[in-house]
A and B are shown apart, each in its own frame.
Chain A
């Protein structure tokens, strides 16, 4: 191995670890059991180029205020737990780098359109119950795992019909961005409607009639006004607005 001169080593160490700059992290704090309104609390947090918003929140939790309530798990945009409003936009905290926000003040708030449990943690009961209601699984009588049945083959084109919609991680960001959800608490929401399309469009599924009937009610698919904000915030590249329009196509007779 080539020897490194003391001067070179100094240069290498200087480029490898830049001095952290600090930003102001503003966290919305609210406990609905004890308080009537939320308050914003400011914290100075040292950040590097790679620091994510979740890292910054966990820094605050570890060093400055242990009481902050935040939900997180995988830290790699797979579990869908750490959704929140970051500088006003619904985003995943683990997937948003502070350096990308181009701001020295970062404000984090709980997602809109969900009841707040505490601080940044919101209640996903309605998200999951709407998701379950639309039967997010393949419905059919026979099975590929019994008897001599063969696997249900699909062509790449068949898979393409629904593939992007199967990337949903149930993070709820689309529901948080949806303007209809802001006033209509009974609306199924972009997440559930998109999942209904994901299974309706799957040619192995036989539950189309059942699901279409479920979305075709007064707080179902027709309450989407195609604002498109759901598709703008999805961290997984799913296009819920398109899924909803494609699902509508079945009800309007454009798709079979």
Chain B
């Protein structure tokens, strides 16, 4: 398996952070288009998922935050304890957890978009 250089991982880490900040800002601005409480009502939230560009943006936010978050967790865990076996578990554990979260979140976005509850 090709090992990714740490600088590449960290560039992704910084990039995903910047991307997430920008998209989450748009997401929050959308809440401002109407009264904040109203925008969080069930019908309005579901309506967001029915809008394809918006649900695509939510999917991208999910991916960016999952990559950034789990890499952050990986870094914290690697700094906490060292050892070849432990580090392998941490690396693979974080990649797997990230994949599971993206899959579960995508399923939710897809189901809400298709009107399945």
Contact = CB atoms under 8 A, between A and B. Distances in A.
A217 B80 contact: no
Contacts of A186: 82
B89 interface: no
Interface in B68-87: 75, 78-82, 87
Interface string B73-112: 0010011111000010000000000000000000000000
Contact of A216 (B5, B80, B87): B5
B6 A220 contact: yes
B82 A222 contact: no
B11 A223 contact: no
A222 B81 CA distance: 16
Indicate the size class of the contact surface on chain B.
10 to 19
B82 to A, nearest CB: 5
Interface stretch (A19-27, A177-185, A194-202, A234-242): A177-185
Interface of B: 5-7, 9-11, 75, 78-82, 87
Given A217-B6, A219-B82, A223-B79, 13 more contacts: A184-B78, A184-B79, A184-B80, A185-B82, A187-B79, A217-B5, A218-B78, A218-B87, A222-B7, A222-B10, A223-B75, A252-B7, A252-B11
| Nearest 7 CB-CB pairings of A with B | A251-B7, A184-B79, A186-B82, A216-B7, A222-B10, A222-B6, A216-B6
Interface of A: 180, 183-187, 216-223, 251-252
